[in-house]
Amino acid sequence: MPTLQEIKNRYGIIGNADELNRALDVALQIAPTNLSVLIVGESGVGKEAVPRLIHDNSSRKHNKYIAINCGSIPEGTIDSELFGHAKGSFTGAIGDREGFFGAANGGTIFLDEVGEMPKATQARLLRVLETGEYIRVGESEPRKTDVRIIAATNVNMQKAISEGRFREDLYYRLNTIPINLPPLRERGNDVEMIFRKFAKDTAMKYKREPIMLTDEARMVLRAYKWPGNIRQLKNIAEQLSFMCKDTMVTAEDLYRAGVTIDSDTKELTTTRPTHIHSNGHTDYDYNLQITTLASALQQLNNEFQTFKQYVEQRLDGVNIKPKNEPLFIGTGENGSGSFTITKENSNYNFPQEDIQEDAPHTIEEIERIKIIESLKRHHNNRKKVAEELGLSERTLYRKLLKYDIKKQ
Ligand SMILES: Nc1ncnc2c1ncn2[C@@H]1O[C@H](COP(=O)(O)OP(=O)(O)OP(=O)(O)O)[C@@H](O)[C@H]1O
Ligand SMILES: [Mg+2]
């Protein structure tokens, strides 16, 4: 049996997270059996490599491996695609069709997005799993087939069952061996490792220097939620390889590419203890601390960027203060030290007489105006407003209440 590392090399799987290793190990262990497998995991976590490696490490490897995406075959044709049909069984059935279950006899069928399978097809599939028999559309004689089924889903199957969209008995048949692929946000260091791999691949492909991450950017990468998982990470790495002027990618570059941290979901004050020793000494989850710190940093950076943009766009309207009075005190973009913007040291070319009586005075007033403007721009679409301002929708909602902002 190959080692985990050999499997990872062969299928281009990067990472060492415990959960990932466990999933791959289970896949390898059960590969030589005929047991049905259900691979579960969010979109983009790498489910597609698993059925292939199971097939390649089974005694079926010299027979057919057929991958079918149940979500992309129209409901009207899926039965005939899977189980075949007899000539003339419906309009357009000009000849006999064997169907995938016949063609894959002795091999493996991978049913991707199995949660999308129509109910009638689910009944036929259950029959194959239970008896090894299926009936072609338009025929009545059952045929035998010896096919191993591996299914995958990124939907919550329990929910699909409770809503009546998926048969519970079929679920239990498919789920003989569950393999759970963890989301990227739970894979610790892997995220950097995978990023480096994609950065290197893109650099090789387009003959340029691979991009690298600043320390702060690495923390942001680790703390981000990655809803699209590895597929999203790949897109971001490719995008940044072309967008960044420099090979060094900063947290701000990530922020511009949409990699932002939702401060609402992070604990800012606590650190989770992982082990309390008998002498009272406590170990802490430092990953969480890094995540928390990165989250706070990014939040600060977001707020600074929002304010900076505002000042740049609307400086004419801001009440100009005496030459050396601070207009703004902030932290350097690279996180090093603080700086003060005054009328004297600012790059902005101040007009001589530019005092407006009704100009906003406090950050809160400015923030309120910024939100109202954005709401107008996006016709009250809160999602877009939150995105533009670098806030979570929940934070935006709180601010709408706080400033008593109605629909614009
Ligand atoms: N551990 C990994 N290392 C490197 N690349 C990976 C890894 N896991 C996944 N990928 C890559 O990420 C992309 C998405 O993976 P895949 O298509 O298998 O996702 P999926 O789980 O099937 O998602 P969906 O549910 O949306 O179909 C692919 O290009 C795949 O090669
Ligand atoms: Mg997939």
Atom of ligand 1 nearest to the CA of 112: 27
CA dihedral 371, 375, 376, 380 (to 10 degrees): -160
Domain boundaries, the chain: 4-182, 186-265
CATH 3.40.50.300 is right for the domain spanning 4-182: yes
Distances (CA, A) of 319 to 210, 314, 356, 362: 45, 10, 6, 10
Domains 4-182 and 186-265 share a fold: no
Atom of ligand 1 nearest to the CA of 234: 12
Q: Which fold, 186-265?
A: Helicase, Ruva Protein; domain 3 (1.10.8)
pTM: 0.68
Distance 93 CA to ligand 2 centre (A): 30
Copy the structure tokens of residue 188: 């610790």
Residue pair 37/30 in contact (Cβ under 8 Å)? The answer is yes
pLDDT tens digits in sequence order for the chain, 408 residues long: 899 999 999 999 999 999 999 999 999 999 999 999 999 999 999 999 999 999 999 999 999 999 999 999 999 899 999 999 988 888 777 888 899 999 999 999 999 999 999 999 999 999 999 999 999 999 999 999 999 999 999 999 999 999 999 999 999 999 999 999 999 999 999 999 999 999 999 999 988 899 999 999 999 999 999 999 999 999 999 999 988 878 999 999 999 899 987 654 444 333 445 555 565 555 555 555 566 677 677 777 777 777 777 667 666 555 444 455 555 555 544 444 555 555 555 555 545 444 444 555 677 888 888 899 999 999 999 999 998 888 888 888 888 988 889 888
Give the Cα separation of 257 and 249 in Å (integer).
11
Spatial neighbors of 226 by CB under 8 A, at least 6 apart, are 183, 184, 185, 191, 232, 233
- The DSSP symbol for 320 reads P
SS3 109: strand
Residue 370 identity (one-letter amino acid): K
**44: Cβ below 6 Å to ligand 1?**
yes
Give the Cα separation of 407 and 52 in Å (integer).
52
Q: Exposed, middle or buried: residue 351 (CB in 10 Å: 0-12, 13-18, 19+)? A: exposed
Q: Which of 231, 232, 234, 236 to mutate to test the pocket of ligand 1 (most atoms within 8 A of CB)?
A: 231
